[in-house]
Structure formats: structure tokens, C-alpha cells
Chains A and B, each alone.
Chain A
Amino acid sequence: MRAAVAAACTLVIGFAVEDMRRRAVSTKASGRLEAGEEAQRVRRLERMKAALRRAQERLSALSEALPFGMWELDGAGSQIVHASDSYCQLFGMNLEEIAAHGWRERVPPDDAERFLSAWNARGDDDIFEGEYRVHAVDGKTYWILSRGMRLTAADGTTSWAGFSLDITQRKRSEQRISLLSDLGRVLSLSLEPQPILERVAELLVPRVADWCAIDLAGRDQGIERAVLVHRDRERMRAARCLTNSAQLAALLGTASARVIASGEPILVRSFPREVHQSAMLSPEQLATAQAFRADSVIVVPLIARDQTLGSLTVAVDDPWQRYESDDVDFMGIVGRRVALAFDNALLYERERRVADMFQRASLPASLPAIPGIAIHAHYVPGANEAQVGGDWYDAFQLADGRIGISIGDVAGKGLHAASIMSTVRLFIRATALEGLAPSLVLARANALLLNDKPTMVTALFGTLDPEELTFTCAVAGHPLPVVVDAAGEATTGVPVAPPLGITIDTSFPEQTFMLPLGSLMALYTDGLVESAEDARYGEADLVKAVRGARSAHDANPAEGIAKLLLGDAPPSDDVAVLTVQAAAKPLLELDLTLPAQPVSSRLFRQALRRFYLAAGVTTDAIPMLQVAMGEAITNSIQHAYGVQGGVVRVQGRVESGRLIVEIADTGRWRGPHDDGGGYGLQIVRSIVNDVTINTDERGTIIRMVHPIGRFIT
């Protein structure tokens, strides 16, 4: 730059000297001066001439030494009167040819328009500056910065003089820096592997390529084309159909395969055009070849952590845009950055997938099924770009016939949160199975967390009593249940105790919720409502959603609530919802099928108890009736036990004041006395009037009928 300024100064001095010379000559012609003075003047003039020559020589040398040297235009700025040789060499023409047609031929039309319109709009400015490209005679494209000054001679005539600089390198650097900065932004936009590649290709086309392909090294040395983007949308569509074709792979994949195998980039400076028209190609191949015509191609490897993940191909189909070796170096930098971001995304995705699998595996495989109560759950993982969180739900049968239900949320995300979640969920379950009250269960879980690794966990644990239709829960910093009854009235509460894992110096008081017939209770983690800007609106929306799900009679109300509140878009945080639905009518008809296993015996009795109560059997008659039913059920379980998929089905109904219970199994009836030492049938017949046993090849049905209100107590 300093050289350019110096050149400009020299130029100005040069013109000044010229001006002096002109004046000297005109003075001489007047002939009014004396001889002595004349001789002195001539000597002075000679000295000036010599100085001028030196200046001109210096100017000329400088002009030639400059990348594209000097130029001079006439005053109107329409005629080139001088251009240095280097400028002419760029065009491969002489001054006259450049002036006549060459400039227009060698400067791309867009650039010519822009430059000339700026020139024509220069007005009275004394300085003009503009840039344009020249498709030079050497086959390369140069960026030229042209800067000129208006010169006004003493006589008032003006002209323009200036210099042209080769700023090709500067332009490239600018473009590359801007591209790298945009690349950094694009790479930070996504944590998903495929979108990263797509965004990179969209960035490179058309800024440095007419089309761009990214291939990934697959298993067994196969190569998969991950992305293909063409500047021309029509060709892009054509390519979509062909992306997976073997022909395309054959045409475009060979270079990628070589690069992936060697880890070394490839530059094809210029493709012979014939390649695209070869008679050796099938029509399909030809179409592809034409759509993905290229004059120049660079393929760089995508290497991250010493592993070649794939290759990045950029191509131009304009001979003036041909790539040079420094473009390969630049694309190498792009390739390394893309590869690292892509590899990070792969690692991230792997971790997320593991965490997701872990979380799903950590949730209960099935929920308890008891007549008259329907328990559903729904888990929604967080948005793809986020890690899996630590939300859980759980529901399980307790020894006394009640159902234990827990839900909670471990602070943080990822595997750490998921593993804590799993521990806490199982710890709550184990403690609850010991028969501890909800407040104690949470107190123990709190102690466990504080003793092991202090992590903040919000949790709710409660017991559902199917007979009383109540839910008694203790809460640690967790949202309380929302119960909506058959009339649409909503009940909820506020947590009074802090989350688990904060302080040992706290207790977890219990609260009881009524679950009247036809009501729906929803338990949830806060991801369900936190999208709302204001928590109060979140709660109002939640009540609305629970109300909606209650009256909609969805197959899974938990899922219904999640859909109503979250829509179809994945939530930012993961969400767990569990619902408890109380049947609209008392349990006057019982139909329960359970596996033929000893533990089912008590579950049947628990369901039967609720059925007796609904049917109007007095509580003092229930224990004896339970023994009669229990005998029959135990026999059925024994018969069907060990049978593949063996089940026992208990049905109960009330008909004209009589209680009818049928117990069916898939095994063979061996008489109700096997292990009862002969007491079984005797007991059943003493309690129930009418007992019939039907056995066929499918199994056995024992039917018991007795008038309600006439049971022995």
C-alpha cells in the first residue's frame, strides 16, 4: 500500500514537472529575454529536462513494478490514453484493443455494470475507487482495485490518472474469513449430525461451490452420500432422484472413496468437458453427469480424532472459478472444522441415545391393573438437541391392596440424572413395599440422597386406596396432583416441603385427595407446564387439559394431557405424566384376569372385596365370603400354574339379589381338596349355598351363587 501511495505521489510530481516544462517552452518562444540569461535558462531547462527524464523513468519503472500499474484517461473519462504494459498483458491485448472491446470481453458483465455505473456517478468527486474482476488471458480470474484522481492543469483542462491493484488475494482472504466465521456459526446451530452436514453444504453453495457433496465412510468400507446440494434447484431435484443410484455413486463416489481411503485431498483443476458427454455413459449417468457438471473439483477428507469420517466435495462448473492449490488448503481447514463438529454431534447423539434407552428401561414395564381404577402413564423425552432428563413415574401393588405411586424429577440431565432417577425410583418402591407411610418413604429417600450424593430431586409418593378411593401422598418440592371430579371441579395443592437432597432437617407432611367415582387425577413433572410464561397460566392450562382428558375418555388420558399441553413439538425438557382414573360407576360388575401365580390370589380377593361392598354385602360377612372365594381361586391358580401363559379369570355380578361369582382357569380341576387336606370344599360349601364345578378340556369353571344379605358372618 505504501508503494501505491508513493507511486501516486510520484505521479503527481511527474505531472507538475511536465507543467513546468510546458511553461518554460512557451516563455522561450516569446524571445524577450537576454542572451546571458538565456544561456542560464537553457542550462536550467536542460537540468529540468534531465530531472524530468529521470522522473519519467522512475515513474515508468514504478508503474511496471506495480501489479497492474498505471492508467490515464482523458478529461471526460471516456478514453484511455495510457495503460501500463502489465495491465495490457493481463488482457493479452494492446491499449487500442482494450479500449475498443477487450475490457468488456474480459470483465464479467455484472462487475462491468457495477463498476461503470459507479464511475458514471462519480460527479464532481476528485477521487474514484472501484473493484472488478478480470478473466485474464492466463485463464485465471483476478480482482482489480482501480483508484484514480482528477487532475486539473493550469489551463483548466482535466484528466484522470490512477493505478490498478491486484487485490485477488485480499478478496479471497476476506471471503474466506467471512466464510469461516459463518461456518463457526452454522456449526454451533445444531447438535445433530445430519443437520450439521446439510447446513454446511447450504453454506458452501454458492459461495465457494456450484455444488457440494458430503460422503460418509460407512461400515465395511462402504460410502454413503449424506448430503448433495446444487446451486441450481432444478438440478438439485434431478439429483434427489439419483442420489442413491449406483451410477451416481460410481460417478461421484470414486474420488470420495480415494480421499476417504488415503486421507489426502484431491484437486482437479479442470475437467475435460468430454467427460460429461462420453458415449460410455448410460442415459441416466449422462443426466447425472450433466446435472453435476464440474470444471474444477476439490475433495477433502473429513478427519476428526485421527479418524477419517468421510469426505467433502466442492465443485464449480464455471471455468473462471477454477480452484487453485490454496483453495485446497482452505477447504482442508473447512473439512477439519466440519469433521470435528460432526464427530462431536455423533458422540453427543450416542450419549443421548444411551441415556434415553437407560431411561426407558428404568421406567416400569407395566402398571398395576385393578378393577375400577385405571392407571396410565406417558413419558415424553426432551427435544432432540437436549439431553435426556431424570423424570420418572412408578406405580406398584402394595401388600395391603393399596397402590403405591411415585413421580419425580432429578435436577440436571444426562446419564448422571438418569442413574440417580433409577436409584431413587427403586429405593422409593422398596421402602414403600416395606409398608412405610408416604412421609417416611420420602424421609428415607431424602436421607439416602444426602448420605450418598447430594442431588436435588423433586418427588411425590403416595398410596392409592381403591376401596376408599383416596390418594394420600407426601410431596418433596414437587407439583401436587390435580384431581378433576365428574362435575369438572378441580382440586390441587401446593408443596409444603423442599425437594429431596437439600436438608435432613425437614419432614414431608401427608395430604389426602379424594378420588370420587368418575374423577381423573393427574400427576406430572414440571416440564409439562414450564413452557407457559407464567406459572399461574400454566396451572390453569393444566386444569383445563385434565378436564379435557377426563371428558374425552381417551385410551390413555396421560398421553392426552401431554398432547393437549405440549402439542406435537417435543418439549425442551422431558415430561412424565401419570393419571389415575376412577370408574364412573361402583364396581357392580367384576371381570379380572390375572396370571395363574400365587401372588394373584390376594389381588383377586382385594378386587372381590370392593365388588362385595358395591353389591351391598355387609362388612362382617366379607371375611367368610373371602375364604370361600379364596379356596376356589387358590385351586384355580394351582391348576393353571405352570401352564404356558396360564391365567385365572374372576367374574362377578349381581342378579336378582344374588351374588354370582365365576372363577375360571385354563388348567384341569383336581377337586378342591388337594392341599387343603379335605377342608377346602367343606369350607366352600358351608359358606356358599350353590357351588357348581364344570370341567372340560379348556379348563375349569367354578360357579358360586348366594343371596346377598344371607351370608353367614
Chain B
Amino acid sequence: MTNQAEFTTTTSDGVIVVAIKGEVDIANVDELRLCLEQATRERGPGIVVDLTAASYFDSRTIALLADFATRMRVHRQRVAVVAPNDGFAARILQIAGLPLIVPAYPSLAEALGAVRQVAGA
């Protein structure tokens, strides 16, 4: 029992949105992994991971997202993250170079649009 973060899964026009609120570290990164794997059971066009309210995450979360996006690609599903400009998430993703693997968007609407567009194409 850590309850240091909340993972909320919703659906927007078939696209699954997993929102992270709080801190993700070694103590609860596996919770996030389970949550993402749960989300892939819905065969939608893709998944958006919203990091807007994430106050802390480190390389484990970044590695998890990278690995997750790679595997989803096999299923022809897109993964995008939401990280507002100049926010903590955007900066840390930048440093780690994640956007090269997983596209990051400053807002949920943009991320959703990107996932739907690719899926529709």
C-alpha cells in the first residue's frame, strides 16, 4: 500500500487515457505497469499517458513507457504522452530523450488528436 500516486484510466472516443497523479518511483512503478497492461486489452487505436499531474517519476517510468510503446507498435497501436511545455515531465523526458521513441504533446487534446489521426491513416 503506497497510495503515493493515482492511476486513472478513461476512454475518449476509443482512445484509452491513463492519467498519472502523484509520484511514481521504485515503490509503485509496477502498479503503473499493471495499469498499462490492463489498458492494452481494449483493442483501441492507441493509448495516451497523461503526465500533467505527475510530480515525480524517474528513469524506471521512462524505460517502462519506451518499452510499452515499442510493444504496442507490434499491435499497431499508438502510444503518446501528455507533458505540458516547461513542466517537470517535459523537461525530464527531454533530458532522457524519450520523445524520440514516444511522441510527447503539451496537451491531452493534441495527444488524442495525434493518436486518432495515425490510427485513422
Contact = CB atoms under 8 A, between A and B. Distances in A.
Contact of A601 (B1, B22, B27, B95): B27
Contact of A638 (B26, B57, B59, B66): B26
Task: Specify which of B67, B88, B98 lies most central, judged by the most chain A CB atoms within 10 Å of its CB.
Answer: B88
A682 B27 CA distance: 22
A184 to B, nearest CB: 57
B2 A634 contact: no
Contacts of A343: none
A412 interface: no
Interface string B52-79: 0001111110110011000000000000
A386 interface: no
B56 A627 contact: yes
A637 B26 CA distance: 9
Interface residues of A, number: 32
Contact of B58 (A598, A683, A713): A683
Task: Specify which of B27, B59, B92, B97 lies most central, judged by the most chain A CB atoms within 10 Å of its CB.
Answer: B59
B58 A687 contact: no
A599 B97 CA distance: 28
Given A624-B88, A683-B95, A676 B2 contact: no
A14 interface: no
B27 A687 contact: no
A494 B106 CA distance: 50
B62 A630 contact: no
B62 A626 contact: no
A676 B59 contact: yes
Contacts of A638: 26
Nearest to B25: A601
Contact of A683 (B3, B27, B92): B92
The SS class assigned to the A binding surface is: helix
Nearest to B62: A679
Given A599-B27, A601-B27, A683 B60 contact: no
Contacts of A623: 55-56, 88, 92
Interface string B1-45: 111100000000000000000110111000000000000000000
B96 interface: yes
A686 B59 CA distance: 13
A623 B89 CA distance: 9
Contacts of A686: 95
A434 interface: yes
A677 B26 CA distance: 14
A282 B56 CA distance: 85
Nearest to A676: B59
B56 A630 contact: yes
Given A601-B26, A602-B23, A683-B95, A631 B58 contact: yes
Interface in A419-435: 433-435
Range of interface residues on B (Cβ < 8 Å): 20 to 34
A676 B3 contact: no
A630 B58 contact: yes
Contact of B63 (A598, A626, A679, A712): A679
Task: Specify which of A435, A638, A678 lies most central, judged by the most chain B CB atoms within 10 Å of its CB.
Answer: A678
Given A433-B1, A623-B88, A676 B60 contact: yes
Given A683-B92, A683-B95, A602 B27 contact: yes
A675 B3 contact: no
A58 interface: no
Given A676-B63, A677-B67, A627 B3 contact: no
A686 B58 CA distance: 13
Interface string A540-553: 00000000000000
A712 B58 CA distance: 16
A713 B58 CA distance: 16
B23 A675 contact: no
Interface in A620-637: 623-624, 626-627, 630-631, 634, 637
A623 B56 CA distance: 7
A341 to B, nearest CB: 51
A269 interface: no
B63 A677 contact: yes
B56 A433 contact: no
Given A623-B88, A630-B58, A677-B63, A598 B95 contact: no
Given A399-B4, A676-B63, A634 B56 contact: no
Contacts of A605: 23, 25, 56
A680 interface: yes
Contacts of A678: 63
Contact of A627 (B22, B58, B67, B98): B58
B59 A435 contact: no
Contacts of B66: 677
Given A399-B3, A623-B55, A634-B25, A675 B60 contact: yes
Interface string A604-632: 01000000000000000001101100110
Interface in A661-708: 673, 675-680, 682-683, 686-687
Contacts of A624: 88, 91-92
A688 to B, nearest CB: 12
Contacts of A400: 4
A474 B16 CA distance: 40
Contacts of A683: 58-59, 92, 95-96
Nearest to B98: A679
Contacts of A637: 26
A677 B92 contact: no
Nearest to A434: B3
Contacts of B25: 598, 601-602, 605, 630, 634
A613 B43 CA distance: 47
A677 B1 contact: no
Nearest to A601: B25
Contact of A631 (B1, B4, B59, B88): B59
Nearest to B29: A675
Contact of B96 (A399, A630, A679): A679
A679 B22 CA distance: 21
Contacts of B23: 602, 605
Contacts of A682: 59, 95-97
B91 to A, nearest CB: 6
B56 A626 contact: yes
Given A399-B2, A683-B95, A634 B58 contact: yes
A490 B4 CA distance: 35
Contacts of B2: 399, 599, 602
Given A601-B26, A627-B58, A675 B63 contact: yes
Given A598-B27, A626-B56, A677 B95 contact: no
24 contacts: A399-B2, A399-B22, A400-B4, A433-B1, A434-B3, A435-B3, A602-B4, A623-B55, A623-B88, A624-B92, A627-B56, A627-B92, A638-B26, A675-B59, A675-B63, A677-B63, A678-B63, A679-B63, A679-B96, A682-B96, A683-B92, A683-B96, A712-B91, A713-B91
3 A-B pairs with least C-beta separation: A676-B59, A677-B63, A679-B59
Given A433-B1, A630-B56, 13 more contacts: A598-B25, A601-B26, A602-B27, A623-B55, A623-B88, A624-B91, A627-B58, A627-B92, A675-B63, A676-B59, A676-B60, A677-B59, A682-B59
